[in-house]
Amino acid sequence: MARQRDGKTLPGRQLRASLLRVEKALHAVRTAATPSAVHRLRVATRRARAGLLRLPPDTVPKALDARLDALRAASGPLRDLDVLRKDTLPRCRAETGARLPATLRRLLAARRQAELDVFLAAIAPLHAAAVIEKARLGLARARRADAAPLPLPPLLRKARKRLRKRGKAFRGDGPEAEHRLRIGAKKMRYLLETLPRPAPLQAKWRRRCENLQTSLGALRDLAMGRALLEEAAHGPADAPFVERYARWQARAAAPLRRKARRQIEAIAKLDKPWRGLPAD
């Protein structure tokens, strides 16, 4: 792996840039935890964690990955509620004419505020500056040891094997299988994003994994919306809307599952994603 003039490996520079984006997103979400700010924080943490895979494990503080994962996990429930209230429910109403009962609307708003309080409390001890400083210390230690970044091809082989296995197991028969496959596609995509100038093959892999991730994410949002509504429903007045949503969910999910199966088949036809990459 070629080194830059300042002695930093390219994956190391990318990780530093990713961690700075985490720092920026964390400050933004503390200022105003809008749906877009929460989403940007989740994306930034995932990409930073993908960058960690390219560095020798003993050169980065062990707590760093755990801190990044804590940021991502803390924002999950808040993100699910935001998607339901801002995207899924408006689509349901536009396609079915069903109006969210006032009781459910108030309950979901209260739930959002409660999840926001939990989220802000969870990220309070995760000081962005400390996360960045720990990462810098680890990268400096890697440079002093002249540690080369881990080659990408073995990581891609592992990610492809996992994705193929989960793709073969996908039958559109449950949210758990869909979730596992979506995570597999996401990990492959973020690994490929560490390439500064991807060749056409790697660009195609990344694009198709992103498309599959989008379809599976839409399926998850539909299922999560139903679960949240069922949890929030209070009394017989809310039951008819929840049942109507469930019927709409089933209709909306069917074409998404068919699309996901076609996307899995398209990925299976691609050449090995490490083809043409240097071995080290």
Range name among 119-133, 211-225, 240-254 with the lowest pLDDT average: 119-133
User: Which range has the worst mean pLDDT, 18-27, 46-55, 163-172?
Assistant: 46-55
In this prediction, residue 163 has a pLDDT band, given cuts at 50, 70 and 90, of very high
Query: What are the CA-CA distances from residue 16 to residues 82, 163, 187 (Å)?
Result: 30, 28, 19
pLDDT band at 149 (very low <50, low <70, confident <90, very high): low
216-220: Cβ within 8 A, 24+ apart? 216/178, 216/179, 216/181, 216/182, 216/185, 216/260, 217/182, 218/256, 219/175, 219/178, 219/253, 219/256, 219/257, 219/260, 220/175, 220/178, 220/179, 220/182
- Convert 115-125 to b/e letters by CB count within 10 Å (16 or more is b): bbeebeeebee
Of 137-146, 168-177, 238-247, give the lowest mean pLDDT range.
Answer: 137-146
Report, as an integer, the average pLDDT of 42-66: 77
The more confidently predicted of residues 199 and 142 is: 199
pLDDT-based confidence at residue 63 (cuts at 50, 70, 90): confident
Q: Which residue has the higher pLDDT, 29 or 62?
A: 29
Asked if residue 100 has pLDDT above 90, the reply is: yes
**Which has the higher per-residue pLDDT, 125 or 241?**
241
| Percentage above 70 pLDDT, the chain | 83
The whole-number pLDDT of residue 173 equals: 64
Taking residues 82-93, what's their average pLDDT? 95
pLDDT band at 6 (very low <50, low <70, confident <90, very high): very low
pLDDT, position 247: 96
Report the pLDDT averaged over residues 68-80. 87
Q: Is the pLDDT of residue 134 over 60?
A: no
Given a cut of 70, whether residue 280 has pLDDT beyond it is: no
Mean pLDDT, range 32-37, rounded to an integer: 89
Of residues 126 and 227, the one with the higher pLDDT is 227
Q: Rounded mean pLDDT of 30-57?
A: 84
